[in-house]
Amino acid sequence: MKKILVVDDEEVIRQVLAEYLEFGGYDVDTAVDGIDAINKANATQYDLIVMDIMMPRLDGISAVKEIRKTQSMPILMLSARGEEYDKLFGFEVGADDYVVKPFSSKEVLARINAILSRYNPEKQHSVEKFGGLVIDFDGRVVTIDGKKADLTPKEYELLFYLVKNKELAISREKLLADVWGFDFFGDDRTVDTHIKTLRGNLGKYRDYIVTLRGLGYKFEYVK
């Protein structure tokens, strides 16, 4: 059973997340601030840490910097501050994902599952099937009703990312950051253009890529 540390100065949030994650099959510890988190991370090997940013004694950003000196487990940041600068700063110090308060426990669990699946590729099935759409991650091949799809390298990366995070709402900004990279000079239209061509190449399975108006996209398979 994978072990998760939930760090937040609000007792209600700690309890709710701990109960929901335990229900989701995880072993959960909690910490009340950054100092508590560092001490527990040094004493116990966690598979993932959920870290709030705004906390007394020591904030989450400072705690992540300290933990990252010796450990490399994935970290999901929580914050009531949703400005782009705060998100980028969180990623720069070593966060793997970022959830803005208020959030649903269901979303946090889904993001944790997605992060841990990326950190444990050996446990993933290299092939996923969605009806006649078959995606071979290791072979980097997509077939549609038995015929190989002609995708560009970026279309492969975009489709693979959406599928590996299926059912999750993903913003255009996050797609730019994770698929193109932070140093990519572009805007939302870059994502929209690639989504349009990718959908065209998926043919009758184009609707598996769902547009979330005002936010971004998600991969959704409906049998």
Provide the whole-model pTM.
0.55
In this predicted structure, what is the pLDDT of residue 123? 47
In this predicted structure, what is the pLDDT of residue 176? 85
In this predicted structure, what is the pLDDT of residue 30? 97
Q: Residue 20: what residue type? A: Y
Longest dimension (CA), the chain: 59
Q: Residues of the chain whose pLDDT is less than 50?
A: 121-125, 184
Question: In the chain, what are the domains?
Answer: 3-121 (3.40.50.2300), 125-219 (1.10.10.10)
